[in-house]
Amino acid sequence: MLDPRLFRTDLDFVKEQLNRRSFNFNPESYVELEARRKDVQVKTQELQNERNSRSKAIGQAKGKGEDVQPLLDQVQYLGDALKAAESELEGIQAEMETLMEGIPNILDEVVPEGKSEEFNLEISRWGDVPEFDFEPKDHVDLGAKLKGIDFELGAKIASSRFVVLSGPLARLQRALIQLMLDMHVAEHGYIETYVPFLANAESLRGTGQLPKFEADLFKASNDPVLYLIPTAEVPVTNRVRDVIVDAKELPLKYVCHSPCFRSEAGAYGRDVRGMIRQHQFEKVELVQIVRPEDSAQAHEDLTVHAENILKKLKLPYRKILLCAGDTGFSSSKTYDLEVWLPGQGSYREISSCSNFKDFQARRLQARWRNPETGKPELVHTLNGSGLAAGRALIAVMENYQDAEGRVRIPEALLPYMGGLEFIE
RNA sequence: GGAGAGAUGGCCGAGCGGCUGAAGGCGCUCCCCUGCUAAGGGAGUAUGGGCUUUAACUCCCAUCGAGGGUUCGAACCCCUCUCUCUCCGCCA
């Protein structure tokens, strides 16, 4: 959620910024609603004030043993007027809330303009794209040959976009997760955390998935209402919902492995082959809660932490700064890391690292006490994949394959593979 | 799942339907005294919002787990829900 004060003081700026995202914001209807809000709120509070002071007078008169009937008669008329004003105000506030919750974050000034991914800005490339003296297979063919990836079985058990991994390839995914967790804890200073994989509506609203993106979620239960998490970002960031964090505790850095569940509504026909886009996948997520002045640097650091995993695995990748149109709803600035997939002959997203600034924090009421002011102020939140394990698995498979269709285990994963050097 | 108890400010803990946004204590901050690993005295110390061109102060509104209700007036009475604790049952 954006700062309501910004809307009142600099509506032109808001409009201009939202335009960058091609977000259709109508200032006139906002101004009209805000005027009604102000009007009705002031009126309501005046009525409440009157009721309170009159009630107090009744109490005092009663205390002195005076006849309070005349005073009671005077307040009679207040009841209905107050009730009407209160419910009108409630309606307007709900309307305002709906409006505000549907408005995306303001983009960082460095975010390039552009409506679609072709305007994304490549920041850097790392690693050498491997040269094969044979035609490299993609992970689907490799996985079938190695009898370790079975999409039909996934579809039989659940539906399309589910997969079953078996044997050394299943272990390879686990090894990747272990490596990531170990590196982020030991080398990057994150606290490992384990969280619920179902989240309530309040939590999903806090991080921005609800109310606007309910169609992307799997609802797991109606009583109580719970959704399968689309990313560990949701439960982990919600650790600080309605919390005032002590300044000394910042920054908070959490790493969390979890399965992620996405309905992929609207992705029909996209990436139907292989493990690129699944309803369920494993991911190691990095989350940081920081002081506002530190978030820009934290964003750079967090992205480097994700990059370090790719470097450790010696997987070629490039770093992309997403353009205005491609940046997510809640994010103000996002770097994507794209890993080279020889089977596809292209770079594909394996990590997305975002600075949400105070957008999530405002929804979450996640604050810290600023020692300089003594007041609670909103924190900044960030997160990034470090990395998506399913995609890391296929990246390893495709980059480390040989002419016989075997997969060599990357050196960094050897300690996690029980002596196995090749999957064949 | 069954039975019972509870939910108040950073913590502990009072609270009669009206003068309680909340006694008292602890903690913390500042000041005074003292002067040295003690003690004493004083002041302050919840959050969100509104009004004000902005900000601070004053002021006003809301909040004592959440949501309804009764009432001129609710932390206090009634209802529903949530959570926590104890006991029983079940259980990876």
The pair of structure tokens assigned to A70 is 């005349």
With a threshold of 0.80, does the pTM exceed it?
Answer: yes
DSSP A92-154: HHHHHHHHHHTSPPPPPTTSPP-SSGGG-EEEEEESPPPP-SS-PPPHHHHHHHTT-EEHHHH
Residues A207-251: tens digit of each pLDDT: 999 888 999 999 988 878 889 999 999 999 999 988 888 888 889
Q: Which nt has its C1' nearest the CA of A63?
A: B18
Assess whether A19 (CB) lies less than 7 A from strand B.
Answer: no
Q: Is A352 a catalytic residue?
A: yes
Q: Is A346 a catalytic residue?
A: no
The pair of structure tokens assigned to A394 is 């296929």
Q: Is A262 a catalytic residue?
A: yes
Question: What pLDDT was estimated at residue A65?
Answer: 75
Question: What pLDDT was estimated at residue A94?
Answer: 87
Q: Please report, rounded to a whole number, the percentage of residues in chain A having pLDDT higher than 70.
A: 100
Q: Which single residue is written with the structure tokens 């207040």?
A: A78
Q: Complex ipTM above 0.90?
A: no
- Report chain A's mean pLDDT, rounded to a whole number: 92
Assess whether A363 (CB) lies less than 7 A from strand B.
Answer: no
Question: What pLDDT was estimated at residue A61?
Answer: 84
Residues A84-137: tens digit of each pLDDT: 888 899 889 888 988 998 999 999 999 999 999 999 999 999 999 999 999 999
Assess whether A83 (CB) lies less than 7 A from strand B.
Answer: no
Cβ atoms of A245 and A370 within 8 Å: the answer is no
**Of the listed A203, A295, A331, A352, which one is catalytic?**
A352
Q: Which nt has its C1' nearest the CA of A9?
A: B54
CA distance A358 to A105: 9
- Which nucleotides of strand B lie within 7 A of protein CB? 18-19, 47-52, 54-55, 60-62, 72-73, 82-83
Query: Whole-number Å distance, CA A257 to C1' B12?
Result: 38
**Of the listed A349, A377, A406, A408, which one is catalytic?**
A349
CA distance A96 to A29: 11
Q: How many CB atoms are closer than 10 A to CB A270?
A: 9
Q: Is A37 a catalytic residue?
A: no
Q: Which nt has its C1' nearest the CA of A53?
A: B73
Residues A379-390: tens digit of each pLDDT: 999 999 999 999
Assess whether A247 (CB) lies less than 7 A from strand B.
Answer: no
